[in-house]
Amino acid sequence: MKKLSNHIILSGITVSMLFSPLMALPSGGKFTHGTSGSITSGNGHMQINGNGTNSVIQWGGGFSIGKGESVNFNGSNKNYLNIAHGTSKSTIEGVLNAKGNNVFLINPNGVIITKTGTINANRFVASTSSMGDEDIQKFAKMQKFDDGLTFSPVFKPQKAGNVVNMGNINANDVLLIGNKVLLYGTFDIKSKTFNQIAALDKDKKTNIYLVGNETHADIATLNNIDKLHITAKDEGSLYLGATGYYYNPSSFKSFNYKQQDYDNALDETGSKIEVKHNNEKFLNNKFIGISSDVDWWHFAKGWNENKSDFSKNIEYRLTNNINFKGNQGKGEEGKDWQNYANYCIDGLGCTSMMIGDNKNPFTKTFDGQGFTLKNINIEANNKNYVGIFGNLSNGANIKNFNVDYMNGNVKANTTNYILYTGGVVGLIEQDAKVEDIVLKNINEIIGNGKDYAYVGGFVGDIVDVANFDSLPMIKKGKKYELPSIQSSKFKNITILNINGIQAKSEEASKVGGFSGAVYSSSLSQNSRYDFNNIFLNHIGYIGAVTDKASAKSGGFVGEIINVYKKNETPTYNSFTDISLNDIGLIQSYNKGTYDHYLNSSHDFEQDDSFASGFAASASGNYFAGITLNNIKTIQSISKDKAELSYSSGFTAISGSNYFHNIILNNIGEIIAEGTGHNKDGATIATGFVGMYNPFDDFYNIYIFYTPQSKITAFQLEKIAVTGYFDIGANDKNQKTHENIFMWAPKNFLQGKHSPHIKFSVREYSDQTQAYKEYKQKLLEYSNKQFLKDNHNYLTFALNEKKDELKEALELDLNAILNKEAMLFKDDSFQSSIENYAINDIASQYYKFYISSLDDMLKEKDYKQMSEDEKIDFVSKYFLKDNENNKEEALKIVQSLEFIDAYQENGLKGANKEKIYQNETFEKLLDNTANVISKKDFIFALLKKDLKDFLDKSIILTNQLQEIKTKIQENEREYNALASSENIDFKKINILAENISKLNQQQKDIVSQLDISPIKNKIEYTISKGGFEIIGDVKQDIYTPKLAQLALQHAKKEIPWTELQPSTPVKKEIPWTELQPSTPVKKEKSKKDLPFIENNIYLSTSDNLKSDGGLVIKKIRKEKDVDKAVTRKRAVTCIVNDGFKTMNPCVVSDI
């Protein structure tokens, strides 16, 4: 597992933009497994009411809540199990309200609660492990509400869905189960609030359970909880951010979590397993993490103002690179750049980002974890402690980070007594530890103090005790003494690229490439400073300027003072494996405006100006493995009343120091410019050391002078002194000098050395050859000291600290949020869909009354109806005759909602790689699609075909009625004529023909009023249900009753003769055609009558003329006459099958 610092990185994407749920509210809700209830929604708010204690709700369209929306689980003491179907994660951006109810949310794709999301419930459970039908049934059959307090869903470690909370959960009990479970802290600057998990009831404390392959939690999100229980199968971590800690300092105690195994788990085969907590790979990071300038702002403000328990925490850590927006101080402050000393954040205000001061020095651990603080610009006014950290004290430890000013500045001005200014720290005191730090790219570090100014590239000043009054007195017998203290330690530090470092004050200015000064008191007698493996490279200028007393500047440190008790063996500070390279100018400058020598009441007897390649003055130290390469100029300047001006290659003033294995390579000019003021005034310039005492020890010193090297000293009143090594060696301390080697151009050393010391001097003409010999000699004498060539410089330092850029490698929140989980067969919830959603629809017997179609079509769009309106709709129009039709309608409505949503929830277009066992999902999609298709087909037929049929039937019925009316009118007229004395045969025939035509029209219309074709399309019957259309528009055909023709009234003079079947028809009677235009006259002879034999009319379609005339034909065969049946005074009509119009007969099919 990659080492986790403490923070989850968002990779620059706003969280709220990651989520675009298809539905603003859950969709396709269906109560299953014997539970029932209602779901209504409107205006972005959903109301869910379960009828029993337990409710199982399947959500075909998934379960998400949009921002500004809410879902309310109503009732009291109820358990709601929600199962989200489809391929979408459950994203809660709005509010889930359950009050005192227990809510369970199962979604194999993942559950995300965004920073705007809120959960209110008695118990909230979210899981990405699918539940089997048996477990769902167990939930549905729970006996009482309290059973929901202990019901825990199964955990399937092979599942990939994640659970992330970035919002607020108010619940008395929380259980989150997933592949990766993450409690992520989010801070709202405007409201100054931090998302949290807290108890719903104020008198209770939340119990939280996290179960997953990985579990990570920002414990700032835990507010006054009872206990945090964690099961992390593979790995995990707990961490706390500075912002969260600022607003919830009590959260730190949540690091005391309870590791717990989870026994309700299944493997890939479905076998029961117990998941063990992996304590070895779980990082319980008991520290406060800092990942942004907002975090640092709270860190600084909380510490400096001593907020609550802020200073009691043991450790702070960087968890990401931080950009402080200094921008080199260019433009308008606050707009174009931020001032680290007065850093302003919209919504929060302004504060100094410098950690610690004299009242609240930083005393804990700061671990940068390899990250970088960058783009810094400091402009501090009237601040005494200036740096990234103002003041370290009492065991403080800062380590493992980089500082890149990106050419910004550190500028400090104060009218107060003293000023401490450094690139990293202002003042370090009392047992601090500083290690593994890279500082680089500073334009200028300038400290302007009133009386005293301590300025360094890294730290302004290092002391054991800055304020003795702050130390507690320890009673020893009858006396009280100050306690012993530990000195600070420094190692693995690199400083790169500083254009200038300057200290300026009226009284004393101390400046160094690393520190302005180092002071150790007798209180740290048993523990001295330790400086090891430190590099300073590329510093343009190191300068101390003072008006009066003392100006000291050194390549590493301005001044080192080690005070120890009288008559006790001194303990030495240790400076080892230190390399200074490429320094332009080291300069001290005393203006000499005041003569302290004449005013002995002051601390200073002589006013000085000391400049040296390493330390301007030093006492009580062990120097070993130190190299100085390429220092162009070392210069001390004393003016006016300043007495002393010393300039040396390593140290100007030495007392009781050990110098072992020291290299000075390519030192340019060493210049001392003095006044010689007063009797003890002196001006000295030396190659290595100026003044020293008999207790100093020099061993293995190597100096290489180039042709450009110069050692110069001059003053106005007295002779200045120079020396290529020192000026004070004599016979008495000759034994303290051993193995001192120098290489110099010819004539360079003349007049610049003590005659009492024998040095190994190599004068050369060929610089290249001489340098080879010089390096060979170094390797010969110093092989055991691990001398090596570093950046073409010889150095004893073991390893230069690199400033490798580190990016946050912790869990990527985006990756977690965007993770697409693979769906398996058990994630399909196949049984629930088939047994409840599909079966509840298929097993119903539906009846639709066509008489209700108009009313149904007047209803509003079904999709726009509420659930209650849909229930009324289905029960009224399709389940009218069913018992409990409202309950049955509820099932159907919810099933249809579920299936519609299920089809639209991403399954149809899902990537094949997302669904492992695709055939199961394809079958479900086919089955649900068939239901939808059948539903849509039926509704389409009802709304279109049936509607069109009924609309047409109204028209046809009206037409039919008109036809019947016309038939009746013709019938009445016909019957009137048939019974009249004078029958008008022409008119009779016309009426008969009209009646025949109208009758056919009747038959055509009645055939069009047959609804069976539509019924045949819709109706079905299966074993458990069916669909039937009730009602008809069938109409009866009107049958007219036509009277018999009274022929006796037509021709009275013709006697009625009974037809004798035996009488043959005379063949000689010719056919005579009756012309309609020729009226039948009574006076015509008998032979002209159209019908002669036996009063019988025989008529066929062939005999009926198109103009309405009749063709009377004689019966040609006697047998045809024999078949006729006659009555007295009556007419019998015989019509062949082809006759299509009415005739004066009663048609048999009317």
Query: Using 50, 70 and 90 to split pLDDT, how confident is the model at 1018?
Result: confident
User: Is the sign of the CA dihedral 143, 144, 149, 153 positive or negative?
Assistant: positive
Q: pLDDT tens for residues 650-675?
A: 999 999 899 998 999 999 999 999 98
pLDDT at 618: 95
| Token representation of residue 760 | 């190994």
3-class secondary structure, 87:
coil
Q: Is 985 helix (H, G, I), strand (E, B) or coil?
A: helix
Closest CA to 684 of 740, 727, 622: 727
Cα 840 to Cα 935: distance, rounded to the nearest angstrom: 13
Task: For residue range 846-888, list pLDDT tens digits in order.
Answer: 888 888 888 888 888 888 888 888 889 988 888 888 777 888 8
Report the alpha-carbon distance of residue 1041 to residue 1148 in Å, rounded: 11
Residues 556, 574: Cα–Cα separation, whole Å: 13
pLDDT at 1130 (0 to 100): 38
At 916, is the pLDDT very low, low, confident or very high (cuts 50, 70, 90)? low
Distances (CA, A) of 358 to 361, 426, 458, 472, 574: 6, 11, 19, 16, 27
580-584, 766-770, 1097-1101: range with lowest mean pLDDT: 1097-1101
The DSSP string of 659-671 is EEEEEEEEEEEEE
Rounded CA-CA distance 19/1043 in Å is: 87
Considering 740-754, 771-785, 815-829, 843-857, the range whose residues carry the highest mean pLDDT is: 843-857
Taking 60 as the threshold, does the pLDDT of residue 951 lie above it? yes
* Distance separating alpha carbons of residues 843 and 849, to the nearest angstrom: 19
Strand boundaries in 319-384, DSSP class E: 322-323, 343-345, 349-351, 365-367, 372-374, 378-381
Query: Is the separation of the CB atoms in 421 and 822 below 8 Å?
Result: no
Q: Is the pLDDT of residue 567 over 70?
A: no
Hey, is 573 helix, strand or coil? Answer: strand
Nearest to 147 by CA among 158, 135, 139: 139
Give me the mean pLDDT over the 1118-1131 stretch: 39
Q: What percent of the chain has pLDDT over 90?
A: 45
So what's the pLDDT on residue 798? 59
Q: Give 861's DSSP letter.
A: P
Mean pLDDT for 683-692 is: 91
Nearest CA to 598 out of 608, 589, 607 is that of: 607
SS3 of residue 1009 by DSSP: coil
Mean residue pLDDT of the chain comes to 81
pLDDT attached to residue 786: 56
Structure-model confidence comparison of residues 902 and 355, the more confident one: 355
> For the segment 195-250, what is each residue's pLDDT rounded down to a tens digit?
889 988 888 889 999 999 999 999 988 988 888 999 999 999 998 888 888 888 88
Q: How many helices (H) and strands (E) does the chain have?
A: 15, 66
* Highest mean pLDDT out of 231-240, 591-600, 1069-1078: 231-240
- Tally the C-alpha atoms within 13 A of residue 1009's C-alpha that lie toward its C-beta: 21
- Comparing C-alpha atoms, which of 52, 9, 57 is closest to residue 32? 57
- Ramachandran quadrant class, 702 (left: phi over 0; alpha: psi -120 to 50; beta: rest): beta
pLDDT at 334 over 80: yes
Which of 932 and 105 is assigned the larger pLDDT?
Answer: 105
**Confidence check: pLDDT of 82 > 50:** yes
pLDDT of residue 471: 44
Task: Check residue 25 and give its pLDDT.
Answer: 93
> What residue type is assigned to position 866 of the chain?
S
46 φ/ψ sector (left φ>0, alpha ψ -120 to 50, else beta): beta
Question: Strand 372-374 and strand 397-413: pairing?
Answer: parallel
CB count, 10 Å around CB of 497? 17
Q: 1145: Cβ–Cβ under 8 A, 6 or more apart, which residues?
A: 992, 1042, 1099, 1131, 1133, 1134, 1135
Q: For 1101-1121, write each residue's pLDDT tens digit.
A: 333 333 333 333 333 444 443
Contact status, residue 153 vs residue 124, Cβ threshold 8 Å: no
734-740 long-range contacts, Cβ below 8 Å, gap at least 24? 734/758, 736/694, 736/696, 736/697, 736/698, 737/698, 738/698, 738/699, 738/700, 739/699, 739/700, 739/701, 739/781, 740/698, 740/700, 740/701
pLDDT of residue 1038 exceeding 60: yes
Whether the per-residue pLDDT at 269 is higher than 90: the answer is no
Q: What local confidence, expressed as pLDDT, does residue 799 receive?
A: 63
pLDDT of residue 967: 92
Rounded to whole angstroms, the Cα distance separating 540 from 443 reads 10
The two three-digit tokens of residue 1057, written as one number? 């003769």
Beta strands across the sheet bearing 644-648: 385-386, 418-422, 452-456, 508-512, 550-554, 608-612, 644-648, 682-686, 721-723
Report which of residues 125 and 194 the model is more confident about.
Answer: 125
* % of the chain with per-residue pLDDT over 70: 78
* Ordered alpha helix ranges (H), 141-196: none
Alpha carbon distance 396, 54 (integer Å): 57
pLDDT confidence tier of residue 728, bands split at 50, 70 and 90 = low
**Which band of pLDDT confidence, cut at 50, 70 and 90, is reported for residue 13?**
very low
Every domain of the chain and the residues it spans: 29-288+814-818
Token reading at 935: 């539903």
Q: Which residues contact 825 (CB under 8 A, 6 or more apart)?
A: 916, 917, 920
pLDDT at 671: 95
- Select the more confidently predicted residue: 1001 or 718: 1001
* Contact of 613 with 646, CB cutoff 8 Å: no
pLDDT score recorded for residue 837: 78
How confident is the model over 16-46, as pLDDT tens digits? 434 444 458 999 899 999 999 999 988 999 9
pLDDT at position 510, please? 98
**Region 29-288+814-818: CATH code:** 2.160.20
Q: How many residues does the chain have?
A: 1150
Q: Stretch 913-935: mean pLDDT, rounded?
A: 69
Q: CA torsion sign, 597 to 602 to 607 to 610?
A: positive
To 5 degrees, how large is the angle CA 1075–CA 1081–CA 1082?
Answer: 140
Better-scored residue on pLDDT, 488 or 516 = 516
Q: Which residues contact 357 (CB under 8 A, 6 or more apart)?
A: 304, 383, 384, 385, 390, 391
Bridging pattern class, strands 272-275 and 262-266: antiparallel
Ramachandran category for residue 584: left, alpha or beta (phi over 0 → left; psi -120 to 50 → alpha): alpha
d(CA 739, CA 782): 11
Can you tell me the mean pLDDT for 530-547? 96
Is residue 763 exposed (0-12), middle (13-18) or buried (19+ Cβ within 10 Å)?
A: middle
- Mapping DSSP to helix (H, G, I), strand (E, B) and coil, where does residue 508 land? strand
Q: How much is the pTM?
A: 0.74
**Dist CA 123 CA 842 (whole Å):** 36
pLDDT > 90? residue 1077: no
- Find the distance separating the first CA and the last CA of the chain, reported in whole Å: 97
φ, ψ for residue 86, nearest 5 deg: 100, -160
Question: Is the distance from CB of 997 to CB of 1040 less than 8 angstroms?
Answer: no
Residues 6 or more apart in contact with residue 768 via CB below 8 angstroms: none
pLDDT band at 821 (very low <50, low <70, confident <90, very high): low
Beta bridge partners of 498: 442, 539
Least confidently predicted of 258-262, 264-268, 270-274, 591-595 = 591-595
Residue 790 clears pLDDT 70, i.e. is over it = no
Integer angstrom CA distances of residue 1094 from 1063, 1066, 1097, 1119: 10, 12, 9, 15
Predicted confidence at residue 364, as pLDDT, reads: 93
